[in-house]
Every structure is written in C-alpha cells, then in structure tokens.
Amino acid sequence: MKAAPTSGDSPQGEHELYREVILDHARNPRNFGALENATHTVDGINPLCGDRLTLYVDIDGERLDAVRFDGHGCAISLASASLLTVAVQGRSVEDALELRDNILRLLEQGIDYLGPATPQHSALAALAGVRGFPSRIKCATLIWQALGQALKRRDAGPNPTVTTE
Amino acid sequence: MNSLPDTPFEASASLDVRADFPALHQEINGRPLVYLDSAASAQQPQVVIDAVSRYQSHDHANVHRGVHTLSHRATDAYESARNRIRAFINAASLSEVVFTKGTTESINLVAQSFARPRLKPGDRIVVSHMEHHANIVPWQIVCGQTGAELVVTPIDERGQLDLEALDRQLDDRVAMLAIGHVSNALGTINPIADICRLAHERDIPVLVDGAQGVPHGSVDVAALGCDFYAFSGHKMFGPTGTGVLYGREALLEDMPPYQGGGDMILEVRFDGTVYNELPYKFEAGTPNISGFVGLAAAVDYLETIGMQRIARHEQALLGILTKRLGDIPGVRLIGTAAHKASVQSFVVEDIHPHDIGTLVDQQGVAIRTGHHCAMPVMQYFDVPGTARASLALYNDENDVDRLIAALDRAIRMFQ
C-alpha cells in the first residue's frame, strides 16, 4: 500500500531545516551566557520538549544596548535565539518589536516582510525552513515570544515566563 | 512480566507478522516506514480494523438498553469482549473488569473513588521516581484534596527501583502504593509480585500502572497479586479510547461511583438512587463499544501468536538494538536495567533529541523524542529529554539497521 504523498519533502529535506547558517549558530551560539544587570529577563519554556531559554535584555531608554541568552534547547531554538541577539542588538524598542512581528509572521504564516535582502535578513530568513516541519515551528518562535514579552513589559517586577503552549 | 524468557537472545529476529499491519506499508519522506514508537501507540492489525468495521457496519446499537435485535448483538459483542479481556489477564470474575477510556482514567478512578475517601492528613501515598505523569498527577491531586503526602521511591543510575528504600518507606503511614509495571521511558520491568507481597504484609493496597506491561508479555493479575491493574487498549494493538481497570471485587464493591449517569444505576429517584452492580457502577454513559470489540480482536490476535513468543522476539531484538546503539560513539543509553522490556532511550552527545527525531524521520524512521511524560526521570538523568526507540512484535532486524543508519547520518550532519 502506498501512502498519501507527504508535503513534498525529499530525503534531503533535512537541509531545508538545518541550513548551514542554522547549524553554525546552533554549534556556536552568539551572545550566549547571562547578562549581568539586565533590565529585562524573560524565561521561555517549551513544555513539549522541556526546553528552557532565558533572554536577557539591557534597555537604556529606548535602545536595546545588550541582548544575551542562555539555557538549553534544540538546534533550531538555539540558532533562533542566537540570530535574535545579533539582529536586535542596538535597535530601538520599536524596531525590535517590528522585527519580532515580522519574524513571527514569517514562521507562523510564511509571509516574508523582512525587507531588503541584506546578509542579516537572509540569515534570519533561513529560520523559515521550519515551515516544512510543523512540529518544529515552536522551537523557532519561542525566543521571539520571549523578546515580545520583555519589550512590552517596561515596568519592574518578577521575571515573566512565556511558553509555546 | 510473568513470562520473561530465561534465555533472551536465542529467538529469531522476525515474527513475520508485518503483513498483518496495513499502516506499516507506506513510505515516509520517500523511504519505507520504520515504526519504532509502539510504546506511545501501537499500530493495529487488519483483524482489529476489520472487527471494528464489521461491528459498525452490522451490529451497532446502544448496549444494556434496548430489547431489539441490534441492541442484543451490541451487548453480546461488548460483554464478550469483557470476558475475553478477563481471561487474558486472568481476573477471577467479570465484576473485576471495568472498562474505561484508558490507563489515565483507570488510575484517576482509583485515586478518586478508592484512595480519596480513605485518606486523612498525614497519610502517605508511595510512587516511584520512574512513573509516567499519569501515575503521579492523580495522586498529587488526591493529596491536595486530603492532606496526604506523596513519597517517592528512588531509582538507581541503571533505572532500577531501589527496593531497599521501598521496604523502608512502606511503613504504617502508607495508605497506597502506586507503581508502574514497566517504565515507558526506561523500559525497566519492576518485580511486581515481590512488591505486592511486601506491601500486603503491611496491609498496603497496590495499584499497578500496566500501560507498558500488557503489550510485552502475559500478565496474570492473580499471580502478580495486585489490588488494581490499569492498562490501555491502544498500546496493545487495539483502538484508542479503550482502557481497563482490573480491581479486586471486594475493593470495587466498597467504592463509590467515579462518575454518575446512565448505565451505572439500578433505580433513580429524587429521594435516592440505587447504583448498578459491578462493573457497571463504574461505567457511566454509553461506552466505546466498537473500541472494545476491536480490543477483544487484538487480544485474540496476540494470543494466536503467543505472548511468550512475542516476549522472546522482543527480547532478542532489544539485545541487538541496545548493542548497536551502544556501539555508536557519543551515544549514551538511558535505562539499562537488568530486566527490561523492549524500549531503549538514549541521548547523543551535542545533539538535542528533537533534532535527532526530525532527522531520522526524514529517513522514514519514527521514534519518540522528548520527556515521554516522565519529567522526573529526565530530571534524575539530568537530560532535557531523550530519543526512544520501542520495539513491538512487527519490528525486525532491518528496522534496527535503518535506525542506526539514520542516526549515523544525523550525527555526521552535526559534526
């Protein structure tokens, strides 16, 4: 008996998900490790797999002066977090939130609003490989959800937690 | 297991039953499917699918209600399924075989209807560190309701129960012991008969979570000596939404109903309702009739092949799988108990289990990755999750070869 065709993944479909830039950021995550004196700290938890990432942001007025993360996760969640830290460092809060919205639209709906094809944008666009792997989309979105939580909460208080569920 | 073979590695590596399972004959990502996730849910043989379809096509009506012919047929089919399952686990009477929707509901039923009315503040419920969440959370809930405390029996680095610690823990404060027959995450087979003896010397009732016990060998509740034995149909090649609670008749008799509704009553009056007799007292509402017809067909199928043969086959294949996995550099086996069912968890150095799962799926190999609803086990071994291959009667050595090849490929990709 033959199965119904799957979503067109070839045996090499894994390279769609694990593109070289993703593997690079997963093996050597940038800005990894806690940020002392962070103004905002958010824990992101994926209860499905038990992954836990912590995002640290230092906001000076309206600018993200420093962004770091730590924790454990799969290659996709680590690469996504690493790419995030590189992409939003130095941006204004407003810019960072817009990028977050655009990344979530790309990952969840496949709509690319990332704009001109700069090298940074093409690195971020590599995350779109999760589109063919529905069970892995949340791995990529987790840290961006955490960023939104951090930036939308401007007051002090206990660290919030976001989950993928 | 009551039926573990003495010489596990002598059997053949195939039972030649693959043709009986239609779902196995398909391609996933361009490769023939290798299904190594039966511990999560087992595939169904054609005879089960046909039995359900035949019942739905010809015999369906509600049970225990109508006087018409179809209602008789449906009731016969449902009750003969109960008798089939009674014989399969060697329960003494039909009153002791309660149909539920799964192991989880069976355990919750015992927690709420048996334990809750008996517990008082300071009483203890003992569970082990290797339990599935379904044998932890219902007891935490009942502890919250009654002021009882949950006590956890430790395991060792091979994933075996610390029987000396259990012996010390089972003191006169303990009102209930809830223990898995076989660990879903580790494969460990617990010595249930010995544990029941120990508990009963101290008048402690024992519930056994048998979700992973029933598929791997013959289970004889009388020989095990447990008070309750809970299991699910879909782990033993039957339909989802079918579960069984075996309970000692004297205990079930004293327990209040778990849910109220139709079928669980003899007489309803506004000034008082008389509950039905066992096991119907615990089966409120229209049950999953076709599901239990399918489960009875699964029992017939398993017994035709023979539970001893299945156990020998699985043990032989487990030996091959464990050896091959252990030979891969960077692989750490999680769960290496002396007595194990055909489940092997593992982690690969520097590769997250989810990445392993996705990559081997790209090669057509289905394994489970994550915490396996046993987060305390993951915490004990200090891993976020594991990859787990589970073997059933339809797996063979080729399946192991395919898994190893897919793993090799995944590891090379991450190097």
A6 with B25: Cβ contact below 8 A: no
A18 with B359: Cβ contact below 8 A: yes
How sure is the predictor about A123, in pLDDT bands with cuts at 50, 70 and 90?
Answer: confident
Higher pLDDT, B232 or A123: B232
A9, pLDDT greater than 70: no
Residue B5 in contact with residue B311, Cβ under 8 Å? yes
What are the residues of chain A with a beta carbon less than 8 Å away from any beta carbon of chain B?
1-3, 6, 9-11, 13-14, 17-18, 23, 27, 48-52, 72-76, 133, 135-136, 139
A164, pLDDT greater than 80: no
The predicted pLDDT at position A163 comes to 77
Please name which of A82, A86, A84 lies closest in space to residue A149, comparing C-alpha atoms: A84
CB count, 10 Å around CB of B276?
19
The predicted pLDDT at position B1 comes to 52
Residue ranges of chain B with per-residue pLDDT less than 50: 3-11
How sure is the predictor about A7, in pLDDT bands with cuts at 50, 70 and 90?
Answer: very low
A153, pLDDT greater than 80: no
Rounded percentage of chain A residues whose pLDDT exceeds 90: 62
Please name which of A148, A106, A100 lies closest in space to residue A127, comparing C-alpha atoms: A106
Model confidence pTM above 0.95: no
Residue B393 in contact with residue B301, Cβ under 8 Å? no
Q: Inter-axis angle of helices A137-152 and A75-88, to 10 degrees?
A: 40
Residue spans per domain, chain B: 18-44+306-413, 48-303
Average of per-residue pLDDT across A12-21: 86
**Token reading at A6:** 């799957």
The mean pLDDT of chain A is 86
User: Model confidence over B53-79: pLDDT tens digits?
Assistant: 999 999 999 998 888 999 999 999 999
CATH class, range B48-303: alpha beta
CA–CA min distance B374, chain A (Å): 11
Alpha carbon distance B337, B344 (integer Å): 10
The predicted pLDDT at position A155 comes to 55
* B30 CB within 8 Å of a chain A CB: yes
The predicted pLDDT at position B255 comes to 97
Beta strands in chain A (DSSP E): 40-46, 51-60, 63-72, 161-163
The predicted pLDDT at position B12 comes to 56
CATH architecture for residues B18-44+306-413: Alpha-Beta Complex (3.90)
The predicted pLDDT at position A157 comes to 55
A6, pLDDT greater than 90: no
Alpha carbon distance B401, B367 (integer Å): 14
How far are the Cα atoms of A145, A164, B77, B282 from residue B232, in angstroms, in the given order? 37, 29, 19, 16
CB pairs under 8 A between A and B: 71
Which residues have a Cβ under 8 Å from the Cβ of B19 and sit 6 or more positions away? none
How far are the Cα atoms of B113, B186, B350 from residue B367, in angstroms, in the given order? 36, 14, 19
* B300 CB within 8 Å of a chain A CB: no
The predicted pLDDT at position A161 comes to 78
Alpha-helical runs (H) found in B10-119 = 46-54, 69-89, 103-109, 116-118
B358 with A49: Cβ contact below 8 A: no
A8, pLDDT greater than 90: no
How sure is the predictor about A12, in pLDDT bands with cuts at 50, 70 and 90?
Answer: low
Residue B371 in contact with residue B378, Cβ under 8 Å? yes
How sure is the predictor about A3, in pLDDT bands with cuts at 50, 70 and 90?
Answer: very low
Beta strands in B129-282 (DSSP E): 149-153, 174-180, 206-209, 228-232, 243-247, 265-269, 272-275
The predicted pLDDT at position A5 comes to 39
